[in-house]
Amino acid sequence: MSISLSSLILLPIWINMSQIQQGGPDEKEKTTALKDLLSRIDLDELMKKDEPPLDFPDTLEGFEYAFNEKGQLRHIKTGEPFVFNYREDLHRWNQKRYEALGEIITKYVYDLLEKDCNLKKIFIPVDATESEPKSFIFMSEDALTNPQKLMVLIHGSGVVRAGQWARKLIINEDLDSGTQIPFIKRAMDEGYGVIVLNPNENCIEVEKPKTHVQSSSDSSDEPVEKRERKDKVFKETKKRRDFYEKYRNPQREKEMMQLYIRENGSPEEHTVYVWDHFIAKSAAENVFFVAHSYGGLAFVELMIQREADVKSKVTAVALTDSVHNVWHQEAGKTIREWMRENCCNWVSSSEPLDTSVESMLPDCPRVSAEECCRTRVKHQGLGS
């Protein structure tokens, strides 16, 4: 049986607790004090000291995984699906490993959008300088010139990026279930131009600059004795601070800061930006949206801000488990009426496919997506 460092640290406290609890009133006061001490110990931080290094591969091959011919993620040697609990009792480490794999999956899907779907990566803001933070979307060659129809895809919130519906489905099921690729290919086969939004790419992360702590001895006007005393205090304080930092951050993880992308700092901003600079300028007579989860909320916000323009170009909207709320978003009567005629929300339900599902909101119809709306909506057709 292995004993973790955190267990060894806490063992004397547990022993003292058991001994004190057998005593009288004075011991009870000590018990209360020790309980207070225990409540202030951050076990998560202590557990970091037992972790292996947070140093993960940056390729699928490095993780010893690959997608097979069915689009399923499988271990190269064993053929087994992805295992989350790679190291037992190290949940934080396993989660960090999963997130590292997820970043590789994101880049893998980006490559598929360009190489397999023949989409182009378009950087935004369109007038960005060389040095400012940028995001990007993906578009088909004819996205802006197709005179007939244009398909716009918006994913939900969280870690997913352009081309994905759900990272978990990509890793645990297959690419067809978790990505937008089947939608994109079918749309292109049926003569649609395609634009794939990237509403969660709102900022870039950079390492925080290290703050320089000025030594007290920099003040040369003070008497020598006073300056020496202050230097001693300064060095002792710095030593304690460094010791605490080593405890707080034993893996020496980089402290990051976020630099937001101009006019794309939120999913709602991003959707409006792409509308103004791309969709509104497209030649398509009919524009169709497929929006999942928070993507539905972003579409409703777009309607609120660009109601007349949206009504003039958008023919139909397929929502999947949309989390929009016309009351909270203060969508007006004319928007709600338009949504009733032009939108449909496929929601998770045990009812048969396309069965009407009751809604308390006076907006668009809700129908059953049966098993899973992400994989079912594609069977409903992409519109005329």
Residues labelled as active-site residues: 293
State how far the Cα of 281 lies from the Cα of 292, in Å rounded to an integer. 24
The DSSP element (H or E) to which 136 belongs, if any, is strand 135-139
State how far the Cα of 152 lies from the Cα of 139, in Å rounded to an integer. 9
In the chain, what are the helix, strand and coil shares in percent, each to the nearest 5? 45, 15, 40
Determine contact, residues 326/339, Cβ cutoff 8 Å: yes
State how far the Cα of 7 lies from the Cα of 46, in Å rounded to an integer. 9
307 — phi, psi (to 5°)? -55, -55
Query: What are the structure tokens assigned to 187, written together?
Result: 């749309």
Mark residue 8 as left, alpha or beta (left: phi above 0; alpha: psi -120 to 50; beta: remaining).
alpha
Determine contact, residues 101/63, Cβ cutoff 8 Å: yes
- Give the side-chain half-sphere CA count within 13 A for 165: 30
- Give the side-chain half-sphere CA count within 13 A for 221: 0
In the block, which residue shows the tokens 């690729």? 181
Rg of the chain taking only CA atoms, in angstroms: 28
Any residues with CB less than 8 A from the CB of 144 and at least 6 apart, and which? 193, 278, 281, 282, 283
